[in-house]
């Protein structure tokens, strides 16, 4: 029997005209026999690539298996230990068999498989649907049956099958050939197709036996990668994977790539704890495979706690197998929904913006029926704080920048839970000058059905900051639907490093006629700013707020290579030498009137490099140049910046790639 989805997928593949090609090739196994009996829930485990790349060995794999058990990860559901690229020797043996790398796996893969199996875990391996793997080692195109037999004989339980060196052979033929070869072995081997979201794989991956297929390019430990980067960051991947929700289900999953929680690799910023929690939450929510990518033998407590949050894992492993999807988007704030097998609904409040925001949805918008009538309501479990609250309908939270609140919601009256209350913080702008005093208004709303009482609000500030309440911080009660409000004055220290500073708000309250206490909290951040420039200031003499560069390091009064700034043979003593992609932000505080500069590609790269310069004020593009190239005369810019608080100098690649994009902001100056 074909399910509705399966029918749609078959129609999809028919439209490619590929059916006959594949069918002819299949002698013993039907072209459309899937592997859906495996991976009924998204696979969970670990993969060596994100942290270790080619630096792998039998020892590492065995120690990782030990750590899976000791860290509680096996107990939490992690099962597969997957060896990625570089496990194989540089040549096949005389009979054409793949051989393990003699130093990395001196005793073969079998011994490792046995060790892993003895721990109650399973072993995964890697190859490519090409003549070579992405690291240039022998791969399986043309050797599908022989290699599948080797994997099965060694005791392999999972194959990740990449797309490098594919010789331009039709992807449907390449991936079907391995799917068929795996099914011909008498071993259950999960088939993970890795063709980077190409070829509409999500439409036909299941039909060639795929249990999961990559929907994107390679992930790196970065929140947001530039469009032109060759890799993807967390939010890039979320945007690529979300629209594919309809293709996921038990036995066949979208794969937005392996986890970066706790991964530390040179050249990438890594994720903050909050970002790591958001990443894990959203992968769980999207029914993605949960394949840890960090060194689990040596992880800190925060990482371990994120990876083993059983409530979040339960969303991921929910038997209904629905990939969560966006319900509403309001600017940078997104509400996501995931219906669960038992009728509960999971909600993700995802804040991809730069400041704390209060937002959410309602039980009604989630289609949660309040069938028990007015006396009932909704029970909300917060899967990270582990608090259970009762709401009459609003489902919202104050979510910090790059954070996610995960709720599991059901209709009913909890035996033992207080009314939900939600903070709303308004601290004006997100940035504060050294020594500046700012008023911060805070309200707390009762979203429940019963009053909350004896409310006490507190604000924790970082060291050196001064906070003083401007009105009462204790309140007798807040009735359902009502808010209380207060404000604090916050003063930044005169001497403080530039950066983000985190404040925590707490509210404690009683319920059940004062018999029980509960609390809630939220965080928000202020960014300390340098003093704005005065008079006529060369920006190369002034402290920036933030600066990024795509290659090398930013030159002050010199090019990125350390030479005299030179554009079209004109030389400059002052200015900034950078490289695409680059963003340099200055704090002007609305005190300047004009920005001027001569821009262009530096002569130090001859005949190469294409870039575009743009000037952005408070997030809006004020002007941008055409694509400029090496040898072009300097372009003189003069831009009105009156009323601009934050000025950002942006250099983007001109459309080829960032190679040779040495970009100069010569004589860059702001004028009062
Ligand atoms: C490709 C894949 C990665 C990893 C590497 C190994 O880039 O997409 O996930 O397997 O190959 O070389």
In order of 72, 175, 653, the CA distances from 647 in angstroms are 48, 50, 20
DSSP string, 595-618: EEEEEEE-TTS-S--EEEEEEEET
Which residues have a Cβ under 8 Å from the Cβ of 534 and sit 6 or more positions away? 591, 672
Query: Can you tell me the distance from the alpha carbon of 225 to that of 222, in angstroms, rounded to the nearest whole number?
Result: 6
What confidence score (pLDDT) does residue 3 get? 35
Domain spanning 30-316: CATH 3.20.20.70: yes
What confidence score (pLDDT) does residue 480 get? 95
Query: Can you tell me the distance from the alpha carbon of 377 to that of 364, in angstroms, rounded to the nearest whole number?
Result: 11
Residue whose pair of structure tokens reads 């700034």 in the numeric block: 565
What confidence score (pLDDT) does residue 267 get? 85
- Beta carbon of 232 within 6 Å of any ligand 1 atom: no
Tokens standing for 290?
A: 């949960």
Query: Can you tell me the distance from the alpha carbon of 127 to that of 210, in angstroms, rounded to the nearest whole number?
Result: 14
What confidence score (pLDDT) does residue 416 get? 80
Residues of the chain whose pLDDT is less than 70? Answer: 1-33, 226-229, 370-375, 415
- Beta carbon of 135 within 6 Å of any ligand 1 atom: yes
For residue 135, which atom of ligand 1 is closest to its CA?
12
Domains 324-417 and 537-671 share a fold: no
**Strand 80-82 versus strand 44-47 pairing type:** parallel
Q: In this structure, are residues 271 and 223 in contact, taking their beta carbons and an 8 Å threshold? A: yes
Radius of gyration of the chain (CA): 28
Q: Kindly report the CATH number that applies to the domain delimited by 324-417.
A: 2.60.40.1180
What confidence score (pLDDT) does residue 230 get? 82
What confidence score (pLDDT) does residue 34 get? 80
Backbone angles phi, psi at 48, to 5 degrees: -75, -20
- Beta carbon of 421 within 6 Å of any ligand 1 atom: no
Gap from CA of 162 to ligand 1 centroid (Å): 7
Which residues have a Cβ under 8 Å from the Cβ of 111 and sit 6 or more positions away? 58
What confidence score (pLDDT) does residue 655 get? 87
Angle (CA) 545 334 258, round 5°: 80
Dihedral angle over CA of 242, 244, 246, 248, nearest 10: -90
Gap from CA of 160 to ligand 1 centroid (Å): 9
Query: Can you tell me the distance from the alpha carbon of 153 to that of 485, in angstroms, rounded to the nearest whole number?
Result: 68
- Beta carbon of 137 within 6 Å of any ligand 1 atom: no
Q: Kindly report the CATH number that applies to the domain delimited by 418-529.
A: 2.60.40.10
Q: In this structure, are residues 268 and 298 in contact, taking their beta carbons and an 8 Å threshold? A: no
**Strand 431-433 versus strand 516-529 pairing type:** parallel
For residue 258, which atom of ligand 1 is closest to its CA?
9
Domain at 537-671, CATH from 2.60.120.330, 3.20.20.70, 3.40.50.2300, 2.60.120.1060:
2.60.120.1060
- Beta carbon of 49 within 6 Å of any ligand 1 atom: yes
Backbone angles phi, psi at 566, to 5 degrees: -140, 120
Sorted by where each begins, the domain ranges of the chain are: 30-316, 324-417, 418-529, 537-671
Query: Can you tell me the distance from the alpha carbon of 344 to that of 539, in angstroms, rounded to the nearest whole number?
Result: 55
DSSP string, 385-410: T--EEEESSEEEEEE-TTEEEEEEEE
For residue 194, which atom of ligand 1 is closest to its CA?
8
Exposed (0-12), middle (13-18) or buried (19+): which is 473, by Cβ within 10 Å?
middle
Gap from CA of 256 to ligand 1 centroid (Å): 13
Query: Can you tell me the distance from the alpha carbon of 136 to that of 372, in angstroms, rounded to the nearest whole number?
Result: 63
For residue 219, which atom of ligand 1 is closest to its CA?
9
What confidence score (pLDDT) does residue 8 get? 30
Left if phi > 0, otherwise alpha if psi is -120 to 50, otherwise beta: which for 454?
left
- Beta carbon of 162 within 6 Å of any ligand 1 atom: yes
Exposed (0-12), middle (13-18) or buried (19+): which is 372, by Cβ within 10 Å?
exposed
């Amino acid at each position: 029997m074909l399910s509705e989805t399966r029918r749609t997928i078959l129609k999809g593949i028919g439209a490619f005209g590929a059916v006959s090609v594949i069918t002819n090739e299949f002698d013993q196994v039907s072209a459309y026999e899937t592997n859906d009996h495996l991976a009924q829930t998204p696979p969970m485990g670990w993969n060596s690539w994100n942290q270790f790349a080619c630096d792998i060995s039998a020892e590492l794999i065995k120690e990782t298996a030990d750590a899976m058990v000791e860290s509680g990860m096996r107990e939490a559901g992690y099962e597969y230990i997957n060896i990625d690229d570089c496990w194989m020797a540089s040549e096949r043996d005389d009979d054409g068999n793949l051989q393990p790398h003699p130093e990395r796996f001196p005793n073969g893969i079998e011994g490792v498989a046995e060790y892993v199996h003895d721990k109650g875990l399973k072993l995964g391996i890697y190859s490519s649907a090409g003549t070579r793997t992405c690291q240039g080692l022998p791969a399986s195109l043309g050797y599908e049956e022989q290699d599948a037999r080797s994997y099965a004989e060694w005791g392999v339980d999972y194959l990740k099958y990449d797309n490098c060196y594919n010789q331009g052979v039709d992807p449907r033929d390449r991936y079907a050939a391995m799917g068929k070869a795996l099914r011909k072995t008498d071993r259950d081997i999960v088939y993970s197709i890795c063709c980077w979201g190409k070829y509409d794989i999500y439409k036909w991956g299941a039909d060639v036996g795929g249990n999961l297929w990559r929907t994107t390019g390679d992930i790196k430990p970065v929140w947001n990668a530039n469009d032109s980067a060759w890799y993807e960051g967390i939010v890039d991947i979320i945007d690529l994977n979300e629209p594919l929700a309809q293709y996921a289900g038990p036995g066949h999953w979208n794969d937005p790539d392996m986890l970066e929680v706790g991964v530390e690799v040179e050249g990438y910023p890594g994720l903050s704890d909050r970002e790591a929690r958001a990443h894990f939450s959203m992968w769980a929510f999207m029914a993605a495979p949960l394949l840890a990518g960090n060194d689990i033998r040596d992880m800190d407590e925060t990482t371990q706690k994120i990876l083993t949050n059983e409530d979040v894992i339960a969303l991921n492993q929910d038997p209904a197998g629905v990939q969560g999807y966006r319900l509403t988007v309001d600017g940078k704030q997104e509400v996501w929904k995931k219906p669960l097998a038992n009728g509960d609904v999971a909600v993700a409040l995802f804040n991809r913006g730069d400041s704390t925001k209060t937002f959410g949805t309602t039980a009604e918008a989630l289609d949660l029926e309040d069938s028990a009538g007015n006396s009932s309501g909704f029970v909300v479990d917060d899967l990270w704080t582990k608090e259970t609250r009762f709401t009459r309908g609003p489902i919202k939270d104050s979510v910090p920048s790059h954070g996610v609140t995960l709720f599991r919601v059901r209709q009913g009256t909890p035996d033992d839970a207080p009314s939900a209350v939600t903070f709303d913080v308004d601290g004006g702008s997100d940035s504060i000058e050294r020594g500046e005093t700012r008023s911060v208004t805070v309200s707390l709303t009762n979203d429940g059905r019963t009053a909350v009482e004896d409310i006490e609000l507190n604000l924790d500030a970082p060291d050196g900051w001064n906070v003083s309440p401007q009105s009462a911080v204790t309140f007798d009660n807040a009735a359902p639907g009502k808010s209380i409000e207060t404000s604090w004055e916050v003063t930044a220290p005169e001497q403080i490093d530039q950066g983000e500073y985190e404040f925590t708000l707490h509210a404690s309250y009683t319920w059940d006629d004062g018999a029980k206490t509960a609390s809630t909290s939220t965080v928000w951040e202020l960014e300390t700013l340098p003093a704005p420039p005065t008079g006529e200031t060369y920006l190369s003499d002034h402290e920036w707020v933030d600066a990024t560069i795509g290659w090398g390091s930013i030159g002050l009064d010199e090019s990125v290579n350390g030479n005299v700034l030179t554009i079209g043979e004109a030389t400059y003593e002052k200015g900034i030498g950078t490289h695409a992609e680059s963003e340099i932000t200055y704090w002007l505080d609305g005190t300047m009137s004009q920005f001027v500069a001569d821009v262009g590609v530096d002569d130090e790269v001859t005949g190469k490099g294409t870039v575009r310069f743009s000037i952005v004020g408070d997030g809006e593009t004020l002007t941008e140049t055409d694509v400029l190239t090496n040898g072009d005369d300097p372009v003189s810019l003069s831009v009105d910046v009156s009323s601009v608080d934050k000025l950002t100098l942006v250099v983007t690649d001109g459309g080829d790639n960032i190679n040779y994009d040495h970009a100069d902001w010569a004589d860059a100056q702001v004028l009062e």
